[in-house]
Chain A
């Protein structure tokens, strides 16, 4: 199989956008790669870690994005090209360092790949990372194709070295997580001459700040000049288009398709920008001067739209008056990801053209025949997921406690506990680690009449990423809450990457595993450990901790992720429902197993009117046997 490291120059390969970025980094002679996993960015460093040995590079899963940015900057300072990748939320975490690094500057090329998730397909927000580049006065590149994802990454290292500052590459899910065929280029080996040398006492500091600030702006002006002749900016269309579409990223594909679908190629031009900050002013201005109407097609924030208007505001005499269409005018939706249909609709409404699509009769017939069966398929915990068991016990413990206790949530698979498979237990979701921070606050409201017990849940990887400082804060400030750590021994949501508690590095080497239990004990709090599959024991421990109103308490619910278990070991049980014992609707349990417990491995047989195990889906964890009041679910040891 062809890996991103072994693909030969000149051959065409089908690569995921993130693999293309990783390949671009290898072609640029990257020597150092770091990230905290986050969808849709994880495969950039994930694939580099897979080929670290054959590619002769260093790759790590960092504890969080700020640390990832810092370790990568250290490599750059020492003369080694480095790449760091993160999702949009991660850029927030890294931004404190980034907003000082930009003043300090870099040495060897340093590239920050920021992967945004329009529509929040696997995120808690649909933030746009691009304003960070503008804010930090750093160059911004946006690949519009898979080939560009690779080629821009390679060039970003050169650009970074040209100006001695970091360079940001922004992609979206439909580039990062899509696949396309690309042509591979030559690789250069990473530098083997790493050395840190400061030529002055302030070389690697932001001091003196106004001087470095001025320098940083001057660097950006140099970038603007370089961008004027960039091959990543292109125009297709007539000499003087009636309407100019200005676009970037995956929207380039959608715009091309929309113009084609509406047969509007003789009326509409497309200006595709790959260098979106700073804008190549002269190049853009020339194209704006040849039209009177502009439609800006971009995802998430009206970033390009705002910058274009700013540019026009300063050069009105050259461009002449222009009418803008885009997010501000309502032609492009203000939220959610775009697709060819939405762009075609926007273009059609500006040009007053209708798309000839599928006949209304077909659409109507399709609706009639399918509508009653195609209700939303809700996502939830997998069969055999330890989180389902943990939340089952948590729900019962809070009910037994009876004081209106509630759960503050965090980021990971267990965020889904705000839905039915986690029994709607999670009530707050914001940033990584913020469930514990919120619990610290709730737990110090006693003076204002607050009496509800508070439980914060976080996963093992989230614990290391951002929960530890909040936990310390709670201990230090005598807050009153229970922290439930759902330790499934994986960064499960993003693809089972290891973390400091696992004992393995990104490249598979053995490393000492940080013991969460020992760490919490060393902080001086009461710590209990439970197996979530022991429903009774876990409920008892939780209830006891809820009633122990003395400061911060920790319960570690420890059981490996069901999907990881499925790869490593055989199922523990063969589970079946005894049709003699399951009394169906006459039982009085009101279908506790399928209606309330809601494991996808348990289904209702409408013919016999009893519960049934779907042998294709059941993972054989055996937990449901404990919830059936009739004892009809039977675990047979395998």
Chain B
């Protein structure tokens, strides 16, 4: 598959969901395979419930800056539905590919009753309307079944790799996990990544 250059990927979610970890995981794996990678991250709010974004820019030719211009994301991986919508509205274009987790992290405005959170159907419809392909995955539910919600992000990375939107295959992801996870956490993370890959496979097949 010929890859757009640079390939612009945004990973988005809420502080504490593991945005930074997965953007690094992908980035390191791609650098190992000879790509230039730049990652721009929003820190500071990253552990305090704020909206967070990692911008990844992947190129065979040169190093790009850490921020993706508006309307130029090629792939959006959303760990939280409303954050995915937010990023899509600012960085999307008709050809963007979106993979989003279905589980909300309510904003304070929703919790206090000042605003309403959109239902899964509305989220899915919006993502589909604004992209060339949109998958909504129940990653947090799968993670909870596996016994730890923290695995949500690794399931989502698995789905992203399975979508073939990145120049990174399942073996590359597995190697990256082996390289970065402490030994007692490795197996469960590998399983989570495989669960994500399965979710993608089911959708690619359909």
The interface of chain A, by Cβ under 8 A from chain B, is: 1, 12-14, 39-40, 121-122, 145-146, 173-175, 177-181, 250, 253-254, 256-257, 261, 339-341, 344, 357-359, 362-363, 365-367, 369-371, 373-382, 413, 416, 420-421, 563, 591, 594-595, 598, 600, 602-604, 606, 614-617
Do B85 and A603 touch across chains, with their CB atoms under 8 A apart?
no
Do B24 and A179 touch across chains, with their CB atoms under 8 A apart?
yes
Q: Which residues of B are found within 8 Å of A12, using beta-carbon distances? A: 31
Known: A250-B66, A254-B67, A365-B130. A370 touches B49 (CB 8 A): no
Known: A358-B93, A380-B48. A375 touches B38 (CB 8 A): no
Enumerate B39-61 residues with CB–CB distance to A below 8 Å: 39-45, 47-51
Q: Out of B38, B48, B108, which one reaches A178, CB within 8 Å?
A: B38
Q: Out of A14, A181, A254, which one reaches B65, CB within 8 Å?
A: A254
Q: Which residues of A are found within 8 Å of B69, using beta-carbon distances? A: 257, 261, 339-341, 344
B27 interfacial by beta-carbon distance below 8 Å: yes
Q: Name the CB-closest residue of A to B80.
A: A377
* Cα–Cα, bound, A496→B43 (Å): 14
B15 interfacial by beta-carbon distance below 8 Å: yes
Apart from A416-B48, A594-B111: 18 A-B pairs, beta carbons within 8 A: A14-B24, A146-B38, A179-B24, A179-B37, A254-B65, A357-B70, A358-B70, A362-B94, A366-B89, A373-B82, A373-B115, A373-B116, A373-B118, A375-B115, A378-B109, A379-B15, A382-B16, A420-B108
Q: Which residues of B are found within 8 Å of A180, using beta-carbon distances? A: 36-39, 63, 66
CB distance from A595 to the nearest CB of B (A): 5
13 inter-chain pairs at a CB distance below 8 angstroms, sorted by A residue, are A146-B38, A181-B63, A254-B67, A359-B94, A366-B130, A370-B88, A373-B117, A377-B83, A378-B109, A379-B15, A563-B47, A591-B112, A604-B113
The 4 closest A-B pairs by CB, nearest first: A253-B65, A122-B44, A358-B71, A178-B66
Report the contact-size class of chain B (Cβ under 8 Å from the partner): 35 or more
Q: Which residues of A are found within 8 Å of B140, using beta-carbon distances? A: 616
Q: Which residues of A are found within 8 Å of B42, using beta-carbon distances? A: 121
Enumerate B1-48 residues with CB–CB distance to A below 8 Å: 14-16, 24, 27-28, 31, 35-45, 47-48
Known: A341-B70, A365-B130, A616-B144. A145 touches B63 (CB 8 A): yes
Enumerate B86-141 residues with CB–CB distance to A below 8 Å: 86, 88-89, 92-94, 103, 105-113, 115-118, 126, 129-130, 140
Q: Out of A121, A145, A563, which one reaches B43, CB within 8 Å?
A: A121
Enumerate B186-206 residues with CB–CB distance to A below 8 Å: none
Do A366 and B43 touch across chains, with their CB atoms under 8 A apart?
no
Q: Which residues of B are found within 8 Å of A362, using beta-carbon distances? A: 71, 92-94, 130
* Cα–Cα, bound, A12→B69 (Å): 26
* Cα–Cα, bound, A145→B36 (Å): 12
Do A598 and B43 touch across chains, with their CB atoms under 8 A apart?
no
Q: Name the CB-closest residue of B to A42.
A: B43
CB distance from B22 to the nearest CB of A (A): 13
Q: Name the CB-closest residue of B to A562.
A: B47
Q: Which residues of A are found within 8 Å of B38, using beta-carbon distances? A: 146, 178-181
Q: Which residues of B are found within 8 Å of A178, using beta-carbon distances? A: 38-41, 66
* Cα–Cα, bound, A288→B192 (Å): 57
* Cα–Cα, bound, A250→B55 (Å): 15
* Cα–Cα, bound, A182→B107 (Å): 38
CB distance from A557 to the nearest CB of B (A): 19
Q: Name the CB-closest residue of A to B48.
A: A379
Do B85 and A604 touch across chains, with their CB atoms under 8 A apart?
no
Mark contacts of B171-182 with chain A using CB atoms, 8 A cut-off: 1 yes-contact digit, 0 otherwise.
000000001100
Q: Name the CB-closest residue of B to A123.
A: B44
Q: Which residues of A are found within 8 Å of B112, using beta-carbon distances? A: 591, 594-595, 598
Q: Which residues of A are found within 8 Å of B47, using beta-carbon distances? A: 382, 563
Q: Name the CB-closest residue of A to B126.
A: A369
* Cα–Cα, bound, A591→B110 (Å): 13
CB distance from B132 to the nearest CB of A (A): 12
* Cα–Cα, bound, A119→B70 (Å): 18
Q: Out of B89, B105, B117, which one reaches A600, CB within 8 Å?
A: B105
Do B67 and A174 touch across chains, with their CB atoms under 8 A apart?
yes
Q: Which residues of A are found within 8 Å of B88, using beta-carbon distances? A: 366, 370
Q: Out of B37, B43, B103, B117, which one reaches A181, CB within 8 Å?
A: B37
Q: Which residues of A are found within 8 Å of B49, using beta-carbon distances? A: 377-380, 382, 600
Q: Which residues of B are found within 8 Å of A250, using beta-carbon distances? A: 65-66
Enumerate B156-180 residues with CB–CB distance to A below 8 Å: 179-180
Q: Which residues of B are found within 8 Å of A121, using beta-carbon distances? A: 42-45
Q: Which residues of A are found within 8 Å of B103, using beta-carbon distances? A: 616
Do A603 and B106 touch across chains, with their CB atoms under 8 A apart?
yes
* Cα–Cα, bound, A39→B31 (Å): 26
CB distance from A320 to the nearest CB of B (A): 32
CB distance from B109 to the nearest CB of A (A): 6
Q: Name the CB-closest residue of A to B14.
A: A377
Do B44 and A253 touch across chains, with their CB atoms under 8 A apart?
no
Q: Which residues of A are found within 8 Å of B43, using beta-carbon distances? A: 39-40, 121-122, 173, 177
* Cα–Cα, bound, A421→B111 (Å): 12
Q: Name the CB-closest residue of B to A363.
A: B71
Do B85 and A373 touch across chains, with their CB atoms under 8 A apart?
yes
Q: Which residues of B are found within 8 Å of A14, using beta-carbon distances? A: 24, 27-28, 31, 37, 39
Known: A358-B71, A370-B88. A600 touches B111 (CB 8 A): yes
CB distance from A185 to the nearest CB of B (A): 17
CB distance from B142 to the nearest CB of A (A): 13
CB distance from B34 to the nearest CB of A (A): 8
Q: Which residues of B are found within 8 Å of A1, using beta-carbon distances? A: 179-180
* Cα–Cα, bound, A600→B118 (Å): 18
Do B111 and A604 touch across chains, with their CB atoms under 8 A apart?
yes
Do A257 and B130 touch across chains, with their CB atoms under 8 A apart?
no
* Cα–Cα, bound, A382→B83 (Å): 18
CB distance from B180 to the nearest CB of A (A): 6
Do A253 and B66 touch across chains, with their CB atoms under 8 A apart?
yes
CB distance from B110 to the nearest CB of A (A): 8
Q: Which residues of B are found within 8 Å of A373, using beta-carbon distances? A: 82, 85, 115-118
Known: A261-B69, A365-B129. A13 touches B44 (CB 8 A): no
* Cα–Cα, bound, A378→B111 (Å): 12
Do B48 and A598 touch across chains, with their CB atoms under 8 A apart?
no
Do B89 and A598 touch across chains, with their CB atoms under 8 A apart?
no
CB distance from B12 to the nearest CB of A (A): 11
* Cα–Cα, bound, A615→B145 (Å): 13
Q: Which residues of B are found within 8 Å of A173, using beta-carbon distances? A: 43
Q: Which residues of B are found within 8 Å of A381, using beta-carbon distances? A: 48
CB distance from A260 to the nearest CB of B (A): 10
Do A370 and B89 touch across chains, with their CB atoms under 8 A apart?
yes
* Cα–Cα, bound, A366→B93 (Å): 9
Q: Which residues of A are found within 8 Å of B28, using beta-carbon distances? A: 14
Do A598 and B86 touch across chains, with their CB atoms under 8 A apart?
no
CB distance from B31 to the nearest CB of A (A): 4
